[in-house]
């Protein structure tokens, strides 16, 4: 999240691959979401004149947007071969710096849209953060190789570094770096839950360690006058520090909430702090002097929900509840208002809801071992009749439509996968069996030819969607149950999440040719 230079607007990037602009005074969204990235948005920032926004994404690209219209400017900036973790505008607005998991930093010429300097190389691991000095002459970078480096923004030459923040003889992964407004200091957050302050002229760490957070620090920012530093963390708190002494201001943390705080920003006038909470996906504005919330949260979702799905036209959201009401609700995506009455029929908690590709149907799975198909048009007109499908012997855990909408697939705790004819509601062929544990996630490949499934048995399996025959051997690499599997939009990769706290990216072409190439992503 970031404020516009005049403090009138807030921009936020999301895991839903969109960017939103908000009115800072009212908390209301302005215009439509900015769409174009194909994966999580990890960094957004305004240009100094407030006319453009730049975003970096896990899809490996950087995009420039017209802040007034929300339209993309030019083509995406392509060059990184990994996730883009951080982007920053130069103070004169002529250049953008970006950093990536490919261990490089790149400087881009905004007007020309091409690489304006040699790629900056030197870090030995993911470069997680970059920042311009206030005068635009230098760039600071932080990396998972546990070092900070300072570069000449014009020549790309290394000026200082690597700087290492040793604590008891050990250094720690760097997650974020920011310059003080006067350019004399750099603050850095580290995986050991500490914040360090560095003297830019000497490259030496100064003052005390800013210690208080108990979990991963997700963001740090200086106040406009440079007197304070705000930090946010997965420990559910925001802390404000005296930048000169390193002591906490206000004594207690600004807030606590049942979910990690993932981003923090200061308003240009220094009066307000905004934060983003990952747990409830809301944005909150706080009075920096009193620590009190200002206005209502900026909400995208409402209610206690276990599963959500957007309608393909983006107008509605379906949500399923795992609480005692066992219902599904439809919401107006623009206003957040519920549409009609709750959908009742399941006799157990809702575990998954999906829309058909044409948006005409909603399919839900439940702990009651059944699948229900709901006519979305009837729901919008006040009816809520559903067709019940029975075939599984245990709770339904996951559902996915084929790209053409003619079939859908279900995964269950009975260790089986079933393919269904979406028109007749009848199962197609025999159950797909092979997993030795609960089937926790199913997904269809974009070309419709294959189905991928994940299970508590620690494996992922690929199936021929036409025959139900397994393709190759089970994919092994995780050390815990699989919680989710998904294909990339181009079908080249499968991404899996696991209870072992890791994500694996699998190369589908390698798998289909007999290999099993994968990359671990671990935090």
Q: Is the pLDDT of residue 240 over 90?
A: no
Mean per-residue pLDDT, 54-62: 93
Going by pLDDT thresholds of 50, 70 and 90, the confidence category of residue 379 is confident
pLDDT level of residue 415 (50, 70, 90 thresholds): very high
Contacts of 324 (CB under 8 A, 6+ apart): none
Which stretch, 146-155, 263-272, 293-302, has highest mean pLDDT? 146-155
pLDDT at 283 over 60: no
Listed by start position, the domains of the chain span: 307-522
Q: Confidence band (pLDDT; 50, 70, 90) for 301?
A: very low
41-46 sheet: strands from edge to edge: 41-46, 52-57, 61-66, 77-78
- Are the C-beta atoms of 286 and 270 separated by less than 8 Å? no
Q: What's the rounded mean pLDDT across residues 342-370? A: 89
| Strand bridging mode 316-320 / 328-332 | antiparallel
Residue 70 pLDDT? 93
pLDDT confidence of 373, banded at 50, 70, 90? very high
Whether 279 has a pLDDT exceeding 80, the answer reads no
Distance CA 308, CA 88 (A): 33
Pairing of strands 502-507, 120-121: unpaired
Question: How confident is the model at residue 113, as a pLDDT?
Answer: 61
What's the pTM value of the predicted model, to 2 decimals? 0.55
Residue 25 predicted with pLDDT over 90? no
Residue 255 DSSP one-character state: -
The pLDDT tens digits for 190-226 are 988 899 999 999 999 888 888 888 888 888 888 888 9
Torsion angle in degrees (nearest 10) through CA of 505, 507, 512, 515:
-90
Q: Report the distance separating Cα 102 and Cα 113, nearest Å.
A: 20
Give the residue from 375, 371, 393, 392 showing the smallest Cα distance to 384. Answer: 375
Taking residues 486-496, report their average pLDDT: 92
> Where is mean pLDDT largest: 110-124, 176-190, 314-328?
176-190
What does the pLDDT look like over 503-523, one tens digit per residue? 888 888 877 766 555 555 544
Alpha carbon distance 146, 167 (integer Å): 12
Instruction: Say how far apart CA 384 and CA 490 lie, in whole Å.
Output: 36
Fold of 307-522: Methylamine Dehydrogenase; Chain H (2.130.10)
Read off the pLDDT band of 391 (50, 70, 90): confident
């Amino acid at each position: 999240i970031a404020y516009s230079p005049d403090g009138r607007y807030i921009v936020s990037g999301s895991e839903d691959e969109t960017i939103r602009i908000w009115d800072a005074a009212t908390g209301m969204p302005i215009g439509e979401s900015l769409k174009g990235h194909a994966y999580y948005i990890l960094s957004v920032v305004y240009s100094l004149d407030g006319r453009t926004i730049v975003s970096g994404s896990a899809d490996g690209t950087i995009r420039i947007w017209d802040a007034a219209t929300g339209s993309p400017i030019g083509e995406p900036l392509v060059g990184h071969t990994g996730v883009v973790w951080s982007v920053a505008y130069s103070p004169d607005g002529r250049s953008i710096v970006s950093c990536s998991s490919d261990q490089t930093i790149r400087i881009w010429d905004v007007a020309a849209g091409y690489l304006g300097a040699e790629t900056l190389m030197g870090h030995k691991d993911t470069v997680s953060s970059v920042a311009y000095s206030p005068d635009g002459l230098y760039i600071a970078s932080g990396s998972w190789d546990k070092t900070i480096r300072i570069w000449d923004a014009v020549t790309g030459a290394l000026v200082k570094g690597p700087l290492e923040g040793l604590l008891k003889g050990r250094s720690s992964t760097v997650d974020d770096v920011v310059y003080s407004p006067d350019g004399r200091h750099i603050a850095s957050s580290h995986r050991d839950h500490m914040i360090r302050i560095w003297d830019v002229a000497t490259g030496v760490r100064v003052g005390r360690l800013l210690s208080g957070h108990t979990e991963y620090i997700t963001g740090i920012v200086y106040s406009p006058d440079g007197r304070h530093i705000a930090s946010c963390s997965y420990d559910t708190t925001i802390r404000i520090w005296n930048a000169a002494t390193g002591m906490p201001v206000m004594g207690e943390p600004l807030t606590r909430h049942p979910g990690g705080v993932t981003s923090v920003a200061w308003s240009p006038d220094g009066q307000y702090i905004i934060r983003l909470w990952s747990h409830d996906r809301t944005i909150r504005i706080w009075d920096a002097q009193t620590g009190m919330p200002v206005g209502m949260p900026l909400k995208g979702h409402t209610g206690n929900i276990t599963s959500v799905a957007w309608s393909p036209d983006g107008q509605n959201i379906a949500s399923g509840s795992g609480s005692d009401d066992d219902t599904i609700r439809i919401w107006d995506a623009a206003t957040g208002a519920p549409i009609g009455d709750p959908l009742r029929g399941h006799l157990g908690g809702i575990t998954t809801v999906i829309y058909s590709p044409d948006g005409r149907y909603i399919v839900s799975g439940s702990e009651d071992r059944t699948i229900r198909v709901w006519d979305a048009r009837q729901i919008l007109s006040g009816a809520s009749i559903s067709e019940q499908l029975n075939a599984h012997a245990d709770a339904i855990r996951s559902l996915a439509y084929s790209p053409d909408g003619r079939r859908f697939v279900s995964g269950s705790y009975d260790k089986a996968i079933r393919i269904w004819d979406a028109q007749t509601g009848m199962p197609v062929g025999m159950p797909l069996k092979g997993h030795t544990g609960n089937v926790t996630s199913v997904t269809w490949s974009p070309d419709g030819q294959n189905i991928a499934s994940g299970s508590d048995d620690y494996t992922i399996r690929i199936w021929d969607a036409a025959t139900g025959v397994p393709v190759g051997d089970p994919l092994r690499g995780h050390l815990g149950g699989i919680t989710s599997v998904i294909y990339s939009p181009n079908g080249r990769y499968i991404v899996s999440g696991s209870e072992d706290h890791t994500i694996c990216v699998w190369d589908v072409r390698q798998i289909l040719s007999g290999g099993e190439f994968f990359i671990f992503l671990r935090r």
